[in-house]
Structure 1
Amino acid sequence: MDDEQAPPETRGVTVELLDRVDLGPEIEGMEGRELRMRKVTIEPGGVLGPIHDHVDRPGTVYVLQGTVTDHRDGVATDYGPGVGWPEDRNTLHWLENRGTVPVVEISVDVVRSG
């Protein structure tokens, strides 16, 4: 897929909530926030889109299996197993699996509760 085209909508993606922690009782000033850990699976040809940001939702991703292509700022970057990346307030991106095996990644982020 050409990075100049509009990213497609999400398809071929499964998200499993692994755990979460209410940060309000843990850290002063974090009321209404939780730390969330998910397993995200993107099937071959799958897309995690459309383009989205991480303003007010910082996190990090770690790839367990497959190769995921991260599209941001007109650049496509491939991340394979054992590699991760941060998703901060400046992140504006979408993801796809261009490979032949499912991508499995762990995503940990801070989100608003509920």
Structure 2
Amino acid sequence: MRPLVLAAGLALAAALSPLATARAGGCPEEHRLTRPRAIEEAPDVATLREILTTVDLKGWRGVGDVLLRTRRLIVLPGGIVPTHQHDDRPSIVTVVVGEITEHSAFCAVPILHRTGETTPEFGPGHAHWWENRGSQPVILISSDVVPQEMMQDPHM
């Protein structure tokens, strides 16, 4: 596990540098949807989640009982981040190591995200799921704003 941790740390440093960071592979223009489509309910498979840190935002600028949370997700080969929505949960995800495929309600085809790419997740109808189609683990860093009660669900 030590080489994986070292590789993840080096990849994170590279991914966070201004020269290496790019916006994620987006949906090709000809496949973008203006209204969300129904997507399949993908299960949670072989995805490890670790909360790295949280900041309690309650009362800041009138914000309610919410947290800013940063997590590391490791999606093992064949793993799936289950179908979830971002109607009311803004998030930013960075691919630290590997390639991962997103299935989005606003794209008619799968979207490939690669090491160093970042993608925002938020808005009405924004639902999706991710899968690791490769043979190596994928490491993601995800920062999101979540209500306190959502912290009890290990999958969210």
Indicate the RMSD between aligned Cα atoms, in angstroms: 1.7
Q: What is the alpha-carbon distance in structure 2 between the residues aligned to residue 92 and residue 8 of structure 1?
A: 11
More helix by share: 2
More strand by share: 1
Secondary structure of the residue aligned to 2:103 is strand
Partner of 1:94: 129
Secondary structure of the residue aligned to 2:61 is coil
Instruction: Please identify, of 102-111 and 74-83, the stretch whose mean Cα deviation from structure 2 is larger.
Output: 74-83
Residues 42 and 129, structure 2, Cα contact 8 Å, conserved in 1: no
Partner of 1:10: 44
Length, aligned pairs only: 109
Q: Give the TM-score, by structure 1 length.
A: 0.88
The alpha-carbon deviation at position 28 of structure 1 amounts to 1.8
In structure 1, the gaps of 5 or more residues are none
The structure with more radius of gyration: 2
Q: Give the TM-score, by structure 2 length.
A: 0.65
- Residue identity over aligned pairs, in percent, reads 36
In structure 2, the gaps of 5 or more residues are 1-37, 150-156
Partner of 1:38: 71
Deviation >2 Å, runs of 4+: 4-8
State the Cα deviation string for residues 5-39 of structure 1 (Å, max 9, x = none).
834311100000000000124x2211301100000
Instruction: Please identify, of 86-95 and 97-106, the stretch whose mean Cα deviation from structure 2 is larger.
Output: 86-95
